Amino acid sequence: MATNAITFRQRWRYRIDSFLARGSGPLFLSLIVAFFGSIALIGAMRWLFHQFAPDTEHNFSDQLWVIFLQLTDPGNMVQDNDTPTIFKTAAVVAGITGVVIFSAFIAFLTTALDQAIAHLKKGHSQVLESGHSLILGWSPRVVEILRELVEANESESNPVVVILAEKDKEEIDEYLRSHFTDRRNTRIVTRSGAPASVQALDRVSAREAKSAIVLAHCNPAASLENKLSSDAKVVKTVLAIESRLEEGADFSIVAEIFTDRNRQVVKDIAPEMVSVIDAEEILAKIMVQTSRTSGLSVVYSELLSFEGCEMYFHNNPAWAGLRFDRLQFHFPDGVPIGIRAPDGEIEIRPAPDRKMTAEEEILIVAEDDSTIEFLPQPVMTPSTGTIPDKRIRLKFERQLILGWSYKAPIIIREYADYVLDGSQIDVMVKDPPPQLMETIRNLDAESTATVRLIDKDPLICDELASMSPFLYNNVIILPQKPSMDSEPERIDSETIVVLLHLRKLQKALTEAGKTVETKLITEVLESLNQELVSHAGVNDFIISDRMVSMIFAQISEERDIQHVYDNLFQEDGSEIYVKPAWLYFDKLPVTCRFGDLMQVAQKRDGEICIGYKLSALESDADANYGIKLIPLKDSEITLTKQDSLVVVAEDDR
């Protein structure tokens, strides 16, 4: 078979292409070789010329120096003004050659610099850090997570947070520049790459990090297929991280998983270091608890955040033999609420007469871990007295849910665990699809409460008024027809419209002389809308992204704190409540010290008081909506019948 002959020119061009394809290193080396080769070639020319027309002004070494100067600066050709003409020819050749070589060299430097900057912008360079926090993946929660980690790192030296996501680095950096500016002492490093890639994890020094937060790849409104795909990617990422760590490494992984079966898969990868979060379930439980106890959302916001009071584990062998109820008065700042045994078992609100051992740790609510100090003697002696034998009687309740989201079934099931059998839960949704109707029928069948679906539009004031919403005990506002493409701003705007309708209806009832006791609870997606929602008259609101981000950040810093959350966010066991002051005092108003409040709470089934709520300030954002946690034990407080105590207790009665 005949073939076309390859010409010398084609072969030469092919070799040049292959040479240039090797990168900048060989090109730079070729320029160096060309420079010194030019010195040698022009030096040979001048030596030859010297044989025919001797240059008496310079010896050969001097002539090499002149060549070097002429190559680097053509202006040095004047040094051959007094030499024979043939030497002037060599000077011109040297000058022109130098211009060509140095022009190529400048072009090389410019191109190399552009390539280096482009490479950096791609986010593929190595991260040389240790002890840093990793955020793997991207979602709107990233900014809230960063805000919490920055707060937690404020007392650290040179803290670093590294973000690895399948997004363009320039896009990530631009987003953070416009949405997150208060970085304080924390450096934020961004890289582009697949979180499930072992090579990408090596680039961000995952082995040297202290923790990793693995985010879901879709939002809760996504289809089941997308959720399963997200879970698969999270599982691969956790597996990739685990493969890069040494056995027994002190590392914390927090992963966001949607389905139960995949949660167990992730837990089995590394049970000692992986914490799996179901964000929607946590938010649903918090909303239910908040609806039953006004002000609880503010309490949780403070306890879950690194700003304000937090929960810490603390150990001091000196408390061995001391009863738990007496232990609470040995801390100038902080109130113990639980015990962690040497085997890791955590008990919230242990028996008051439980005696401490030297090996046990306490779970304490305090302003900061640096302020926790156990004193051998009590910081105060509380006054003694009796408490009234009063209880909040359980009664049939009516709950109204406006809208529908993927956490609504969890909310309904949680409600059914709290209320008396036969209580009523109504769900108001415009044009409910057949799938939702089937879900409501199933919930009604399995629940001890009556669950009904009402086909009306909460965004229309007259239709909302027809439901008589203020005849219900609680009204929960959820997103109206959310989808995976729903913008948080649009959802919050619709929520505010519903709240304004409710405020209008409430105002009409108040002007008619009727008392309104219904609590309004809503979910807010954008933290920037917090003030608007508060102004619209809502009693409690949950900023969903911020709340979940707080939990992610807290668990990434202290892995065992998840066991505390598991205990607090369920109906069984001890929980946090905001209870009316009249349950603890026969006569109100009363002026007492915070330590006295702790004492009266102990007498009521071993409850633990961690703060109080002043109803006169519940609309004042600057006063934390009337909530004060962990005041000084000898500080005086005046409580009225409308005020409340924040306690850890068995139930809300």
Last-in-domain residue among 251, 277, 303 = 277
Q: Identify whether 189 is part of a domain.
A: yes
Judged against a pLDDT cut of 70, whether residue 541 lies above it is answered with no
pLDDT tens column, 171-205:
888 888 888 888 888 999 999 889 999 999 999 99
Q: What percent of the chain has a predicted confidence (pLDDT) above 90?
A: 27
Residues 428 and 408 in one domain: yes
Q: What average pLDDT score do residues 377-384 get?
A: 86
Confidence (pLDDT) at 527: 65
400 or 283, which is more confident:
400
Q: Identify whether 322 is part of a domain.
A: no
Residues 420 and 532 in one domain: yes
What are residue 577's DSSP bridge partners? 647
Backbone angles phi, psi at 13, to 5 degrees: -65, -40
Strands 211-214 and 187-192: unpaired
Confidence (pLDDT) at 371: 85
Residues 481 and 519 in one domain: yes
Confidence (pLDDT) at 384: 73
Judged against a pLDDT cut of 60, whether residue 342 lies above it is answered with yes
pLDDT tens column, 122-136:
667 888 888 899 999
Residues 83 and 140 in one domain: no
Residues 83 and 212 in one domain: no
Q: How many CA atoms lie within 13 A of 222 on its CB side?
A: 16
Residues 117 and 153 in one domain: no
Q: Identify whether 448 is part of a domain.
A: yes
| Confidence band of 67 (pLDDT split at 50, 70, 90) | confident
Last-in-domain residue among 544, 561, 596 = 544
Assess contact for 554 and 509: CB atoms under 8 A: no
Q: Identify whether 485 is part of a domain.
A: yes
Residues 464 and 495 in one domain: yes
Q: What percent of the chain has a predicted confidence (pLDDT) above 70?
A: 91
Confidence (pLDDT) at 438: 93
| Confidence band of 540 (pLDDT split at 50, 70, 90) | low
Q: Identify whether 289 is part of a domain.
A: no
Residues 75 and 179 in one domain: no
Q: Identify whether 600 is part of a domain.
A: no
Q: Identify whether 288 is part of a domain.
A: no
Residues 264 and 168 in one domain: yes
Residues 143 and 99 in one domain: no
Q: Which residues have C-beta within 8 Å of that of residue 650, sequence separation ≥ 6?
A: 349, 573, 574, 605, 607
| Confidence band of 536 (pLDDT split at 50, 70, 90) | low
Backbone angles phi, psi at 365, to 5 degrees: -95, 120
pLDDT tens column, 204-228:
999 999 999 999 888 776 777 888 8
In the chain, the number of structural domains is 3
Q: Identify whether 575 is part of a domain.
A: no
Instruction: Note the Cα 294 to chain centre separation in Å.
Output: 26
Residues 106 and 230 in one domain: no
Residues 142 and 226 in one domain: yes
Domain range for 533 is: 398-544
Last-in-domain residue among 277, 305, 326 = 277
Helices and strands in the chain: count of H runs, count of E runs: 20, 22
**CATH code: domain of residue 440:** 3.40.50.720
Instruction: Note the Cα 177 to chain centre separation in Å.
Output: 17
CA distance 277 to 254: 7
